[in-house]
A and B are shown apart, each in its own frame.
Chain A
Amino acid sequence: MNTISEYSLAAVLLVIKLFTLSMYVPVDGENPVITAVIFTIMSLIKLCTLIPLFYCAKKQGGYAALSGRFKAFGCIFFALGAAGLAAAVSDLLSTAIESVYPDRYTKFSITLIFFFICAYIASMGIKGFSRCSAGALFVILPLMLFVFYQMRGALLNDRLNFYADRPLPLINQTVKNLLEYTVDYFIFFGLLPYLKGSPSRAAGIYICADIIIVLLVLLTSASVMGSFWDNSGYIFFALSFSTFGSVIDRSDGIYLAISSGAAIICGSALLIVLKDSLNFFNGAKDKNILLISAAALTAICVFADNLQLSSQRLITPICLFSAAVLFIISCISAVRIKRIDVMKNERTAQS
């Protein structure tokens, strides 16, 4: 089986995190410093929630770290979650691109191209995909730094403070908002079966780098935007607005290219998870399942768009539900494995 290293997995997840950051829409009146603190606490909680998964992965080593009994069940929810998230990612990206170039692109064409490209990259196998992501990270990060470097003249460090008029409702809103940007968590779970090394080490590398990158992006954005945060949409537009177009506008093409690249990596990862979940039911390894999945997802996205449905709103509960079920399954599985181990040990001791 094709496997990837801890570093490759971390690289994939960081690219995905950069995508979610570039598409991040702050809540009204958000205090970025509070957001950064909440994010750090959430990351540590995320690490804690991953502990049962590490345990399962270590014991079982099977698909999605689930035992055989729960495998089919897990695969259904994996498929649901991956398909839902892929549709959401496509929706986010196509909306962003369409809003930047309304006269040149339509959501339909972007969705179509997006899933075709994702299917192609996913077809190159997990190794090709992960190496490509690692390469993309080394291109994306310097470009991001370049964009931020361009904003150095607009820094408003005095805006970085903990002040909030109504702290509790703000924290509540911010937590809810941040929860919607946890696609990387799901993908981490989905790509665990491909991991060659230690999952806990992979999680450690990923979460540390994740916290550093997010804090850097959030705080830099915050220091630039200051009180203009209220007028924001995506971070990108907020940056553009708050600097009066003087610096960031000349980089919007690069910025959008970065977002598109990260979104494609994210979509490919989700298609890989989806393909393997579907292949479980299919029995054999069907190569065409990737194209079928991509076509089906395109159709769903276009259909949702034509019905004027905000697919993100529909998809978020599906994904959260899938993630919750997977989490519960993994916990039950961990307890079950532990129990079986204890029973085995007892039998050995008795005999």
Chain B
Amino acid sequence: MDQKNPKPITYRNFDSAYFVKNLNENILMLRTVLDNTMDLNIMPVRIDSIDCAVITIEGMVSTSAMAELIFRPLTELDGSGQTPQTIMDFLCTGCLMSNERILISDLGQAARLLFSGFALIIVDSTACAAAFGIQGYEKKAISSPMMENNVMGSQEAFTEVVRTNISLIRRRIKHPSLRFEMMQIGELSNTDVCLVYIRGRTDEKMVARLRSDLKKIKLDCILGTGYIMPFIESDSPRLLFSQVGFTERPDMLCENIIRGRIGILIDGNPFCLICPYLFSQNFASADDAASKTYFTFFMKLIRYIAFFLATAFPGIYLAAVNYDPEMLNAQLLSNLSASEKTTMLPLFSETLIIMLLLEVMREASIRLPRAVGAAMSIAGGLIIGDAAVKSGLISSPLLIIVGITATASYVLPSINQQMSTLRIMFILAGGFAGFFGITACALMTAANICSADMMGIAYTSPIAPFIKGQAADVFARMTFEQMQDKKTTINDFS
């Protein structure tokens, strides 16, 4: 066994190193591989004159579970005439120390398991180690969703721990076809990434493609959803909207995977990626299923209008006032003209400045500590709003436009980045080229959205290409009777 190991063993080549039949040497190798890290705990134990060691990483294991599940069975073995091999057999098959038991022989896996909260038991004169899952690290409790709030329905959101998230999904879909595939991504971080899908509902080719995309990632660490998304949607990197959605709600994820989509859970992140994601899904909410169909239609209409108001409204206002004032009502036009006379800047500059200020305030409101939230409201509402009008920096009608735009943009927080970008683009287009610019900008955006295609499914499905019988979900929602009869999956959209 010894000949296999590279010399010297360091943290750079530990993946190809193996345990040997000498406890001290094994401990030394582990210390070397883990660079004698401060949080490495090695507890020597002697059972029937045979030296053993229990190795853990501080803070990653539950001390009570360790005492109950590891130390108690080990002490019971003492005085029963054991050999190293019988101890190892007992650890692996003879007792129930933990529901996760793995016999390992290489240092690479040993290190990974240690960092995942496993306890390793090494027995002298055996060239292997027994690993027991007794994780007990501190973690955030399951809380209410932060971004996808709803009135009726579940109030549970994902947490940072991938295994807890798996249990949240399993609790909702109690069927053997629900499948989880765990993999480690990130050369240094070895982050647990879990594919979630329902066998029979999801296209196997889609799963294979996603699996291979994920395995190709060679980043040092995966610290969030943003690290993975570009690799999944590598077919169309120039697109404005993302074809990979995300949710923090287990119920929303379950709805999506039941419809044949694939979820990606990332350890350390309370959001789950969903792919393929459609444009119309950005306008869906968790409450849609709880509402009457006609009301869902109304609410979706409101969301589409909000999208239009948040993106194109300031640009259209600018184009109408600057280029085609005859389109406006005479009374409104005279009011606008009167208020514009009191300002020192042209309308285009005014709009651009106030929209940039709006973005600054939004960014500040996201980043600032909650304690100073009230101060921020006063600064934004009174100082920038009221005082700017009184000082003649901006006109009152423009302030109303900004108010409408800002309010509308809060309706769809999941596409906030895109709406902010589009808003600025429409303002520039409307300011520089009037309605010609607005049309051009709208067409460019539409072409960008329409060209998106992921795994053979158009981002604008089921509207373009039009898929008969599926369009109801875009503007309202299918009735539960229809859902019962059709059992629609995303594969029907290809």
CA distance A127 to B451 in the complex (A): 6
Give min CB distance, A114 to chain B, whole Å.
Answer: 8
CA distance A26 to B460 in the complex (A): 39
CA distance A135 to B439 in the complex (A): 13
Give min CB distance, A197 to chain B, whole Å.
Answer: 12
B464 touches A131 (CB 8 A): yes
Q: Which of A105, A128, A256, A261 makes the CB contact (< 8 A) with B442?
A: A261
Q: Kindly supply a per-residue 1/0 record for chain B positions 436-462, scoring 1 wherever the CB is within 8 Å of any chain A CB and 0 otherwise.
A: 111110111011101111000010100
Which of A250, A251, A257 has the most C-beta atoms of chain B within 10 angstroms of its own C-beta?
A257
B326 touches A249 (CB 8 A): yes
Residue A293 at the chain B interface, CB threshold 8 Å: no
- Given A120-B444, A124-B447, A134-B464, does the pair A260, B326 have CB atoms closer than 8 Å? no
Residue A104 at the chain B interface, CB threshold 8 Å: yes
A121 touches B327 (CB 8 A): no
**A237-258 at interface with B (beta carbon < 8 Å):** 249-254, 256-258
Residue B87 at the chain A interface, CB threshold 8 Å: no
CA distance A150 to B477 in the complex (A): 35
Residue B284 at the chain A interface, CB threshold 8 Å: no
B448 touches A124 (CB 8 A): yes
B323 touches A121 (CB 8 A): no
Chain B residues within an 8 Å CB radius of A8: 465
Q: Which of A101, A127, A253, A261 makes the CB contact (< 8 A) with B450?
A: A127
Residue A117 at the chain B interface, CB threshold 8 Å: yes
- Given A110-B436, A131-B450, A254-B435, does the pair A261, B465 have CB atoms closer than 8 Å? no
- Given A104-B323, A128-B448, A250-B326, does the pair A264, B453 have CB atoms closer than 8 Å? no
- Given A260-B439, A264-B440, does the pair A252, B447 have CB atoms closer than 8 Å? no
Residue B384 at the chain A interface, CB threshold 8 Å: no
Chain B residues within an 8 Å CB radius of A104: 323, 434
B465 touches A260 (CB 8 A): no
Residue A136 at the chain B interface, CB threshold 8 Å: yes
Chain A residues within an 8 Å CB radius of B442: 261
Give min CB distance, B237 to chain A, whole Å.
Answer: 13
Residue A318 at the chain B interface, CB threshold 8 Å: no
CA distance A253 to B433 in the complex (A): 12
Chain A residues within an 8 Å CB radius of B323: 101, 104, 253
User: Which residue in chain A gives the minimum CB-CB distance to B451?
Assistant: A128
- Given A128-B450, A132-B450, does the pair A257, B327 have CB atoms closer than 8 Å? no
Give min CB distance, B147 to chain A, whole Å.
Answer: 29
Give min CB distance, B278 to chain A, whole Å.
Answer: 13
**A243-295 at interface with B (beta carbon < 8 Å):** 249-254, 256-258, 260-261, 264-265, 268
CA distance A256 to B439 in the complex (A): 9
**B409-439 at interface with A (beta carbon < 8 Å):** 433-439
Residue A7 at the chain B interface, CB threshold 8 Å: yes
Chain B residues within an 8 Å CB radius of A258: 439
- Given A104-B323, A120-B444, A135-B450, does the pair A257, B464 have CB atoms closer than 8 Å? no
**A73-127 at interface with B (beta carbon < 8 Å):** 97, 101, 104-105, 110, 113, 117, 120-121, 124-125, 127
Complex A-B: 9 CB contacts under 8 Å: A7-B466, A8-B465, A101-B323, A113-B440, A117-B440, A250-B327, A251-B327, A260-B439, A261-B440
Q: Which residues of A are in contact with B by a Cβ distance under 8 Å?
A: 5, 7-8, 97, 101, 104-105, 110, 113, 117, 120-121, 124-125, 127-129, 131-132, 134-136, 249-254, 256-258, 260-261, 264-265, 268
Q: A121-B444, A132-B443, A253-B323 are in contact. List 15 more A-B contacts (CB 8 A).
A: A104-B323, A105-B433, A105-B436, A117-B443, A127-B458, A128-B448, A128-B452, A129-B447, A129-B450, A132-B451, A252-B327, A253-B326, A257-B439, A261-B440, A268-B447
List the 4 closest A-B pairs by CB distance, nearest first: A128-B451, A253-B324, A131-B450, A124-B451
